[in-house]
Amino acid sequence: MEEKNFTKVTPEIESLAEKCRENNRISLDLYDKYEVKRGLRDLNGKGVLTGLTEISEVKSTETDENGISHPCDGKLYYRGYDVEEIIAGFTKDKRYGFEEVTYLLIFGEMPNDEQLADFTELLGYYRCIPPNFVRDIIMKKPSCDIMNAVARSVLMLYSYDDKADDVSIPNVVRQSIQLISQLPLLAVYSYQAYKHSHIGGSLIIHEPDPKMSTAENILHLLRDDGNFTPLEAEILDIALVLHAEHGGGNNSTFTTHVVTSSGTDTYSAVVSSLASLKGPKHGGANLKVVKMFEDIKHNVKNWDDEEELTKYLDAILHKEAFDKTGLIYGMGHAVYSLSDPRARVFKGFVEQLSQEKHREKEFKLMSDVERIAAGLIAKERKIYKGVSANVDFYSGFVYSMLGLPHELYTPIFAVARISGWSAHRIEELINCGKIIRPAYKSISPHNEYTPLSER
């Protein structure tokens, strides 16, 4: 019997796809006619107000004494606290901050020493997965896409939870803390299973250390010898803090609110958000930056020649180089204008790590690209609100210096952002009264039905 090929796009499938293309195109003029905000944004790119939150705030404008709004340096607040001040506080004390920020986001207040110690111990207690889970679930059918592998594992954890469908706040808090603790394991073990299955070599699985921070555990689990430097763990911790939350309107967090409002279980809600984050327009952006810089390093012979570098960046902008999309990845943001506070605070730590890793030349190239690209984009696109580097511009370089494989870039984002998702899920459950259901206007004409025999 001939073996069936279920992944081949046959002429018949292509013909059906063409029908989809023909019968699903909507004129852009109709969006203006009916005043539909595409992507839930107005003409200036500002998000349409769809909800209220106390969890975080993204600020990119300020109002003068005449009531006129102007672009300003970006600010990010977690529960009203400036993220830059939070990071300055725990770096001054030489301690890790992701656990503290997770506590703040979920419970709405800064922990004292005892509360933070108890919470960190609780995360360590839950930082494990069921017996034989790695063998029976993760190793059984490794996926080349680690985000999909993590999502599958999260769904499977539903089967191990006797109260999986209980959406009471105490139970959701318990589930959230468990998943925050487990996600680093699911990500790293899924990558190691993929690597062993598709690339070969020995398989070294480390047990997590309940006394280590989340950042330390990621490096400990991932590296064959389990070793890392203090600076490596510190900078990965800062990356987790900066990616932990970014307002209720980002795509994956809005997904959390939408799916949670239906009353579904925690595991399904988290998987929905993982699916959103996987997209290259969202969590996959930092990998695009890395690939772009690989292309720049290959095609620009003298990195110190600003004229040559500017010429190549201009070619990228005019769809003549790299992936020919006209995008200089890592530059610009949907909300921030003059600067992204996450990139601003991250840059100094990235420079430190580049010195430890002897990659100062690459850091200088990135700094030059950031400066030159901002001017080129502003001149070419006439962007009213200004353009600056976003956090993805530097995070991929950091992950590269830490030796993280490309396959883990977006999963590490998820390891951080699940703290914000959890906070928003709990907020939605506490305040939810209605299922979120925005309106779509039908523009299809009404047709008279004709029986099949008469068509």
CATH of the domain at 314: 1.10.230.10
Q: What is the CATH number of the domain that holds 102?
A: 1.10.580.10
Whether residue 230 is found in the same domain as residue 312: no
Residue 22: CB atoms within 10 A of its CB come to 8
Q: Which residue has 């209980």 as its token pair? A: 166
> Is-above-0.85 flag for pTM?
yes
Same domain for 418 and 294? no
Write down the residue that tokens 């110690």 correspond to: 117
75-91 pLDDT, tens per residue? 999 999 999 999 999 99
- Whether 371 and 345 map to the same domain: the answer is yes
Position 385 scores a pLDDT of 56
- Using one digit for the tens of pLDDT, what is the confidence trace for 302-330? 999 999 999 999 999 999 999 999 999 99
Cα(425)–Cα(263) distance, integer angstroms: 10
Check if the beta carbon of residue 428 is closer than 8 Å to that of residue 261: yes
442 within domain boundaries: no
Burial pattern 268-280, b for ≥16 Cβ within 10 A else e, equals bbbbbbbebbbee
- Same domain, yes or no: 255 and 293: no
Q: Which residues contact 171 (CB under 8 A, 6 or more apart)?
A: 163
341 within 8 A of 74, measured Cβ to Cβ: yes
Is residue 324 located within the same domain as residue 209? Answer: no
Q: Residue length, the chain?
A: 455
Q: Tokens 């109709």 sit at which residue?
A: 30
Q: Are 365 and 420 contained in the same domain? A: no
Residues 112 and 255 in one domain: yes
Same domain, 268 and 417: yes
Q: Is residue 277 part of a domain?
A: yes
Pairwise CA distance, residues 314 & 332, whole Å: 16
Query: Taking 90 as the threshold, does the pLDDT of residue 47 lie above it?
Result: no
d(CA 138, CA 132): 9
pLDDT of residue 1: 66
In a shared domain, residues 205 and 267: yes
393 neighbors 366 (Cβ within 8 angstroms): yes
Domain assignment present for 2: no
Q: What pLDDT score was predicted for residue 332?
A: 83
Q: Classify residue 39 as left (phi > 0), alpha (psi -120 to 50) or beta.
A: left
Q: Which amino acid is at 265?
A: D
Report the percent of the chain where pLDDT is more than 90: 77
The stretch 31-57 carries a mean pLDDT of 87
Q: How far is CA 200 from CA 189, 192, 197, 204, 325, in A?
A: 15, 10, 6, 12, 35
Residue 427 lies in a domain: yes
Judge whether 67 lies within some domain: no
To the nearest whole number, what is the mean pLDDT of the chain? Answer: 93
Phi, psi of 227 (to 5 degrees): -100, 155
C-beta separation of 129 from 182 below 8 A = yes
355, part of any domain: yes
Structure tokens at 242: 């900066």
Decide if 359 is inside a domain: yes
Q: Which domain holds residue 395?
A: 285-401
Q: Say whether both 340 and 191 belong to one domain.
A: no
Provide the domain count of the chain. 3
CA–CA dist 205, 213 (Å, integer)? 18
- pLDDT over threshold 70, residue 74: yes
Do residues 148 and 240 both lie within one domain? yes
Asked, for residue 447, whether it belongs to a domain, the answer is no
Judge if 127 and 164 occupy the same domain: yes
